[in-house]
Chain A
């Protein structure tokens, strides 16, 4: 399935491809070591605020008590 707008000549389509690639080639990138360190840092900094990671006790997790009495 193609989703090109009107302007169906191959040359027009190829021009769009080249323009897009030029844009992507010009991106500023960081090293994976830097990016990975930041991902790791974010995880560690937020670990204690992550209920599914730390395992929240029944008293604080609304889903853990099996029977819920709610008066609506």
Chain B
């Protein structure tokens, strides 16, 4: 990386003082543009009506805590992974299990469906991300076709295919994110900057270009350029680990859920936090967040076993959903927005609509 403008003999002290002054300038610039709050702009927006959202399906079959889940683009299949090492593919309409594979490790913290619907990726304490093709041959041993793609030096916390089955983005307890070629297992780009474990990531909607956001134990959310490996924006307003990040559907903002019991909204063009979703009565961490299709609703799963539904514009909670009997660990809205699925330490997944 070129170090133009930085003299080789510049001392540590002068660098530190430049860093402090740049941080101060950043804060000043961000503050200048902070002319109004989001909820003020949304004052005249019609309030949301009463919500009737119930569990419509319960997926039972995992023998231990459900840690992660993802929807297939067909809007009905779901892949989920568990502490007991099992990864299951479900038909959420019928609740039937279509595929199951046992990983060689426990705590499979990450799983993802390939865009084609023909493969899944997963990993966890094995420090790897592996891809399994899905076939309908009953005699086929799924584990036999396993392909190891990513190798980290600590646990895999999150994974996502990019726009095709050919590339996977991973996040790890080793503090980095990485982009891999599935076919060759080659590392295409690595992303360094988090000061601690990276816990989550989300790819920008394809229209907005090649960026993704990650969140970590360093309380930071970072936005990355996938081609250059550069961090383009960073946000540090949470008071504890960021467990989940999700882009707003337009790609201009993203939400985060944290162990500090709040969810927050960061606008990328204003380059700052623009909303906090919190209540004095909510004292347990938010583990996972996702938006409804229009971006108006934010669904957040918490360690107190509940799911809170927030009005993104007004900042108020519109509903609280009970049902899980232990922490909610993962939550995703379906691709067509008709439902969302939550996974829990109570060993089940629930589909809500």
- Chain A positions within 8 Å of B, measured between CB atoms, are 1-5, 10-11, 14-15, 17-25, 27, 29-40, 42-47, 49-53, 55-56, 61-64, 66, 68, 70
Cα–Cα, bound, A36→B42 (Å): 8
The listed residue (B197, B292, B340) touching A50 by CB distance below 8 A is: B292
Cβ-Cβ contact count across A and B, 8 Å cutoff: 203
Chain B residues near A45: list those with CB within 8 A.
Answer: 294
- 14 A-B pairs with CB atoms under 8 Å apart are A3-B194, A4-B192, A21-B22, A24-B234, A25-B22, A32-B267, A39-B38, A39-B250, A46-B293, A47-B296, A50-B337, A51-B353, A62-B75, A64-B56
Chain B residues near A33: list those with CB within 8 A.
Answer: 35-36, 41
The answer to whether B97 has its CB under 8 Å from any CB of chain A is no
Cα–Cα, bound, A19→B22 (Å): 10
Report the count of interface residues on B (CB-CB < 8 A). Answer: 82
The answer to whether B252 has its CB under 8 Å from any CB of chain A is yes
Q: Are B269 and A29 in contact (CB under 8 A)?
A: yes
Chain B residues near A55: list those with CB within 8 A.
Answer: 49, 51-52
Q: Are B233 and A20 in contact (CB under 8 A)?
A: no
Chain A residues near B313: list those with CB within 8 A.
Answer: 39-40, 43
Chain B residues near A63: list those with CB within 8 A.
Answer: 56-57, 92-93, 338-339, 351, 353
- Chain B positions within 8 Å of A, measured between CB atoms, are 1, 3, 6, 10-12, 15-16, 18-19, 22-23, 25-26, 29-30, 33-38, 40-42, 45, 48-49, 51-53, 56-57, 75-76, 92-94, 154, 173-176, 192-197, 217, 230-234, 248-250, 252-253, 267, 269-272, 274, 292-297, 312-313, 333, 336-340, 351, 353
Q: Are A70 and B194 in contact (CB under 8 A)?
A: no
The listed residue (A2, A21, A38, A47) touching B26 by CB distance below 8 A is: A21
Q: Are B269 and A53 in contact (CB under 8 A)?
A: no
Cα–Cα, bound, A32→B35 (Å): 6
Cα–Cα, bound, A15→B248 (Å): 33
Chain A residues near B1: list those with CB within 8 A.
Answer: 19
Shortest beta-carbon distance, B99 to chain A, in Å? Answer: 14
**Told that A1-B196, A39-B252, A46-B295 touch, could you supply 4 new A-B pairs with CB distance under 8 A?**
A34-B269, A39-B313, A43-B295, A51-B353
